[in-house]
Amino acid sequence: AAPSIGRLTRDGTSPRRRRLRSHTLREEPSSLARSSRPASPRYASGATMAATAMGGASVVGAPKFFAAGSRRTVRGASALRGATRPAAARRSNATVTRAQAGQTAEGDRIVDVSQIVVPEDLIGIRAYVRWEEAGMPEDTPPEWQAAEYAKARLDLQLEVLNGVTLNDIRRRYNQETVDGDDEPIFSRGDADVMLDNAAGKFTGATSNVVPMETRPTPLDDFAPTIEIPGGGEKQKVAIEPEEWIEPPPEQVGEYHSDAYAHRDLRSIVSHRAGGDEVAAPKYSAKTFMSRWASFDSPNTLVNQRLYTLGDDSEMLVQMYQDVVEDESASSGPRKRVMSRSVVITTDSQDDLVLHWGVAKDEPGQWLLPETTVWPGKTTAVSDMSVETPFVSGQGCLPAEAFDKDEVEPGEEDLCYPIQQLTIELPGDGADELMGLQFVIRNKEGTSWFRDEKNGNSNFHANYATTQHSKAADELLETIIRSEAGNGWWTLMHRFNLASTMLEQKCAPGASEKSIAKAVAAAAKIYVWLRYSSNRKLTWQRNYNVKPRELSAAQSKLTKTIAKLFCDAPHLRDVTRLMLGTVGKGGEGGQGQQIRDEILNIMHRNDVKEKKGIWMEEWHQKLHNNTTPDDIIICEAYLAFLKSNMDISEYWRVLSEGGIDRARLESYERPILAEPTPRPTKKVALIKDFQNYLKILKSVHSGADLIECIKTANKGLGGVSPALNYARVAQNGGGDAIQLLAACVDARHELRGAGLANPSDQEWTRELLYLDLSLDDVARRAVERSGEANYGLEDQMRLAGLVMENLALSLPTSNEDIVLALIEWRRVEEARRDGDSQWALRAKAVVDRVRLAVALHADDVAAKMQPAATEIGVACGIEHWAVDLFAEEVIRGGPAFALSLVLSRLDPLLRAEADMGAWQIISPVPAVGYVKHVHSLREVMNETFTRPTVLVAGKVGGDEEIPAGAVAVLTTCSVDVLSHSAVRARNMGCLFATCYDEAVLDSLAAFDGEPVSASVMGGDEVVWEEVDASAVAVGAGAGDVSSVPKGLKLAKIPFCGKFSVPLQEFKKGVVGAKAINTLALNESLGGGKIPAWINLPKSMVIPFGTMEHVLDDAVNAGVKAELASLVAAIDDSSETALERSLATCRACVQRIIAPAGMLDEIEAAMVAAGIPAPDDEDRWAKAWSALTHVWASKWNDRAFVSLRNVGIDHDDLRMSVLVQPVVDADYAFVIHTVNPSSKDQTELYAEVVMGLGEALVGNYPGRALSFSVKKTSGETPRVLGFPSKSVMLKIPRQTLIFRSDSNGEDLEGYAGAGLYESVPMDEEETIHADYATDPLVWDEGFRTELLSKIAEAGVAIEAALDGQPQDIEGVVKDGEIYVVQTRPQV
């Protein structure tokens, strides 16, 4: 309920509405009243006013409510109950209205209030005022409007009855008066009679109030009464509570759109495949002081920081130290700090004084400095501090420090008035100081400046932190110091500091830091703000903030975030997330409304500002420091009111919002009481607090869909059908898929309105908040879809929509999802067209998208979890909230919603493709103890002492199978020809992928228990519990005893030269790859293989070359260091092993080529027809690639593999096969005997787009796989379409250096893939676009190419005496190139 009529001003508005008039679009009652409106029982309805206020939109607004008729109770000496009176009469005396005439139409004397006639134009105005007082509900139904019009009539009738003249009412509404209407129509006696008649009707009525015995004060004491004069003793008529009736929900209807099938999805890709990474635009520094800080950074500068001083000045603190080599030092540090200096510079125009002390033993000390470090004019002001005035002068920067448009032609320097002070400190020695502590004051001492962004702590220049602190991350250090300290701190301070950090660390051009560093900084700030929004950090500490100050800080931060979204495309993913953690705020007006309106509500509803009353306690909290908690408190109070004041509803809503009694009592102005029931004010309070909730949300919550629509509606040109459907259906009703489609369509409309190419930060902010609210509605739609019984077609459409929604939520990194979505559209079309392989295609896309979601989750964890841990531990946040931080970020977003949808769809697709739940990679039985691990890599280094069945959450395909493992079962898709798969088959280890997480979870539940697992029917893994006696400890498949032990490698000596040509390839000099390359060339020349098979040019750097080069005097230091590092290798844990081996690899990469080596290699390349590097830079790249191959001797999987089979690592020698790179269209690997079925008559192969490293390098996802009988000439049978997310390309002519060791192809030991092959130029990683790939979609092309690959495999096997071969090759412009082959192990 809004102010009573008695509180309206002469222009027809309440004081509150008059103050806000400049901020509203709607017409005021006064202007409406002056318009020529018909005198009929109609008024401007909610729908009409909503359309006017929102630019003509047809349907917009919040839930609609209306009040039914209320009852009054006559209470005299006998406390008799009265009969029913109209609803509006429950209001106080100030709301009673007046009538126009005292007679009925027939001329009879009026004896009932309802017979009083009031002019219809006044009723219409009063009805409009009532609509405003009700919170201006939109789309009100006709019956509600009719009821409100009747109540407006009654309001005025009661006023007239109580002696108010018609002209009094007209003057109140700024209407022209009418002659003769200045006298009251009814006498006091007439009024008494009619009121007595009304009171008589009350007899026998019963109260609808439910007593609350638990309340400390009886309800009757809160019931307001009005006195009815007349006839001696006065009667009191108590106003009984009016009922609150929730309106029926809007009819949701249906939403149908064909935009889903016709949208240009490529337009939403963040950057095109093969294109450059999105680069940030460059901006110049914005202030003179920031330019000053960034222009000159000498080596002696060890740290600097820019602070704000007041509203319009900045201060730069720079710390220098002079370090020299101490040649005389026989032990200890060889460097010595000779001197230090702290330079403080400010652009403040006020004369300033430095109030300071020094720290000697601890960073936080404040000691009186020795006079030897006092600058001129320093005076002691206490026993621990001195003061020094700043020196005024001019600061000048050269013209190149500014943008061209900021400098006049010919201008050399630009100068600005500054103040500066330098304090010289001693260096190392007995007098060494850690640094300074200081504050700043103006000359008069009336203003003092502290570090307001860090809880108003002292400024400091701390050399101990610079040199010795482990927290090298200045950003995290600043956050932690602010949050974990005991100084002043509030949401306002946090938001202001966040704004400053974003401008300094992330804004384009603010520094020369890389894009990666800016992304890392933004991720840390997001972690911090998310902790804040989740109430994990304090919202108020020792400081009171006015609502308008908090609102202004929020507004500044959200505008800063929106500007970053516009200016830094590489930050759009994280800035979008960041905006969701902060309310929109305002420039002060909205914040002030929070403070003013709660008091207005209390006054309107006669709530006393009395200690111990719940509303007064909340009022004090709001005045002292409003926070986002107030939204939950308001919602809880509304739930209390609407439930007929059921206090349990109040606590339920608080609890669901994360607020308990302890939190309420923890506020600096605590809320100790519970809400007081006010039954006679219930409806009025509901109306008031529904409006107040909107005010709170406008400041503290930016992503409320209805409020966002209202804000953005004008700029959008109205509310589209998609946006309107999302509004209406967001809270239930309608179809989940239709709602999701509406959300996606609406989000595309926002892209068209500015989000695709954002430039205006204010408009971008409004669009982003609306986009976030639509994303939230979409997420809830996905949750609702789980309850629907959708068929396969609907499930597929749902999956496509959720993919699209995720792509829209990742404006920086959505390319992989978008390309998968485009292929998904083709799959849907293929299904409609009757493609027999549509389900197999769909399964590949689902696998790709699942992989993309997993990679996205890994990226979030990598960027955010370390910062979450550091901030969380330092600030004492609960360990569970710290440990699960990254996981909760994912679970709360659209990626997790997509994962849920795919989990429901996957079994349907597998059934359609006749795939089953398993892919069998190594089909052997296993008996062992179950062990559930997060990833195979984390246990790769272990040696299990008993047979172990590993259930691994992650398997990449490049890991070694740990010793003692008899089975590896995972949900990850792994190539059949990956290193892990080959090693599993070699070791006799069961290896399989399970596509049904629930199935594998049931096995993981047996963690620690013995089971027997086997392959049934060739395509399903089954298991059963067994007795421990059934497990043969230390024996069986997978144990290291099943692999030949004691294998020895011959120590191959250096052959005496650095290169070997093709014709000299022989055992003992080159590896098996080179030997087979020679055999292929001989077969090609002898006609044993077809002439259409191409072989690359080749030469070899032979065995023993690395060891020989290390013996050269130029590498004496490297050799000694490497020997020391190898001796110190620590394999006690996977982490220790990785660290040890990484230092060995880094050492090898520092090997220097001895004189003449590169000249010899160049000559060999030219002789072999291989294009040699043509300048020093290219040779540097070639040498780097060669040393990387040598260094791969110390990669972790190779070290573990050799150790597990007992091979002496020192005996391993590495030759290197050098070939030109063929920039392939496709790459393939062939096993001429099917590795899964062991069928000697069947060939199996895998094919990928681009270079072969995506296949042999075990990149995540599956390649296209096929099998074919070797002799039948049948069409190759596709077993699976590709799901790898990337392809590799090298855009220029280059070389590849292939590892070819003496430990790869041993009898009974598959060492292939253990060591690296490294191209001279780095591959370009491109997201694969399978939707346009003819290998996937052109059946004729696919059949021809796969048949040709198979034919090449069969020919090579035959040429090499029928021995099964493991062949690698590429396809370029339809030509087949075989780059290497080895015996299939």
Amino acid at 479: I
* 3-state SS class at 877: coil
Amino acid at 1065: F
Q: Which residues contact 925 (CB under 8 A, 6 or more apart)?
A: 990, 1012, 1013, 1014, 1015, 1037
- Options 619, 700, 979, 1231, the catalytic residue: 979
* 3-state SS class at 649: helix
Helix and strand numbers (H, E) in the chain are 43, 41
Q: Is 879 among the residues known to form the active site?
A: no
Place of tokens 């893939």: 1313
Backbone φ and ψ of 998, nearest 5°: -65, -40
Q: Is 524 in contact with 476 (CB distance < 8 Å)? A: yes
Q: By C-alpha distance, which of 404, 94, 65, 104 is closest to 246? A: 65
Which helix or strand (DSSP H or E) is residue 196 part of? helix 188-200
**Alpha-carbon distances of 840 from 100, 663, 852, 1002, 1228, rounded to whole Å:** 81, 54, 19, 26, 20
Q: Is 957 in contact with 979 (CB distance < 8 Å)? A: yes
Structure tokens at 1122: 């490497």
Structure tokens at 1190: 């040598």
| Cα 571-577-580 angle, rounded to 5 deg | 135
| Cα 780-784-789 angle, rounded to 5 deg | 155
Backbone φ and ψ of 576, nearest 5°: -65, -45
What is the spatial order of strands in the sheet that 943-954 belongs to? 918-922, 990-994, 963-970, 943-954, 926-935, 1010-1016, 1020-1025
**Alpha-carbon distances of 927 from 936, 1024, 1258, rounded to whole Å:** 19, 10, 28
**Alpha-carbon distances of 976 from 923, 991, 1117, rounded to whole Å:** 12, 10, 44
Q: Is 363 in contact with 244 (CB distance < 8 Å)? A: no
* 3-state SS class at 359: strand
Q: By C-alpha distance, which of 1331, 1262, 1287 is closest to 995? A: 1262
How far is it, in rounded angstroms, from Cα 735 to Cα 729? 9
* 3-state SS class at 86: coil
Reported residue count of the chain is: 1385
Which helix or strand (DSSP H or E) is residue 1375 part of? strand 1375-1383
Backbone φ and ψ of 1249, nearest 5°: -75, 145
How far is it, in rounded angstroms, from Cα 315 to Cα 329? 39
Structure tokens at 93: 């005396």
| Cα 740-745-746 angle, rounded to 5 deg | 95
Burial of 460 (0-12, 13-18, 19+ CB in 10 A): buried
* Number of other residues whose CB lies within 10 A of the CB of residue 231: 11
Q: Which residues contact 193 (CB under 8 A, 6 or more apart)?
A: 111
* 3-state SS class at 425: strand
- Helix, strand, coil shares of the chain as percentages rounded to 5? 45, 20, 40
How far is it, in rounded angstroms, from Cα 104 to Cα 107? 5
The alpha carbon of residue 192 and the mean position of all alpha carbons in its chain are separated, in whole angstroms, by: 68
- Positions marked catalytic: 979
